[in-house]
Amino acid sequence: MKLVVVSAGLSVPSSTRLLGDRLAAAVDRHTPVDIQVIELRDLAVEIAHNFTNGFPGRALAAALDAVTEADGLIVVTPVFTASYSGLFKSFFDVLDKDALAGKPVLIAATGGTARHSLVLEHALRPLFAYLRAVVVPTAVYAASEDWGAEGLPERTERAAGELAALMQGLSAARPAKDDLPAEDDLAVVPFEEQLARLGA
């Protein structure tokens, strides 16, 4: 299975990227996955050009394809002005509106203070619900004081376990093309006949 991490961190090194890496490693402990990381910082110019000319550049197109084809996503943003960053939102604005439908997504964010932790519930969760993604129940926020403190590893493991379970469940539920019934095998059975069969 393929897991894609979308990181909107701007600094190098980035605590946002670090959180994304930790979450991905935790998912991999629950179920083996191929991990690909997309650094939005490297795509900023192409994202801006996409808005003005309507076409993604080569790197942006590859990133959009990776997200669309992923079995699961981890999305991580720094908190800017009590919400996700503009770069983070811009990436999902240029993504096809149906690309995340039914896709398992783990939302996460980083910030300088724990007071911004509700950004996960009032900004990120509604965004991905609008995109019709399946957002895992546990979201992960890491403030500066959380690194190395109690609580963050436990939340990371719980969220990763939820994402891994969703990825496994949805990929198992998705029938292979060969398993789908042929059109000739599909027949409409009148309701009365169905009732008669039940009574037999």
Read off the pLDDT of residues 39-78 as tens digits, 9 standing for 90 and up. Answer: 999 999 999 999 999 899 999 999 999 999 999 999 999 9
Count CB atoms within 10 A of the CB of residue 74.
30
Residue 185: predicted pLDDT: 52
Q: Is the pTM of this model over 0.85?
A: no
The stretch 81-103 carries a mean pLDDT of 94
- Confidence check: pLDDT of 194 > 70: no
Angle, in degrees to the nearest 10, between helices 86-94 and 44-53:
50
**Rounded-to-integer distance, Cα 88 and Cα 66, Å:** 16
Beta bridge partners of 80: 83
Question: Contact 40/88 with Cβ under 8 angstroms?
Answer: yes
Angle, in degrees to the nearest 10, between helices 15-30 and 152-173:
50
The stretch 24-51 carries a mean pLDDT of 96
Q: What is the mean pLDDT of the chain?
A: 89
Which H/E stretch holds residue 17?
helix 15-30
Provide, for the chain, the percentages of residues in helix, strand and coil under a 3-state DSSP scheme, each rounded to the nearest 5. Answer: 55, 20, 30
- CA 34 remoteness from chain centre: 15
- pLDDT, one tens digit per residue, over 130-175 is 999 999 999 999 998 888 777 899 999 999 999 999 999 865 555 5
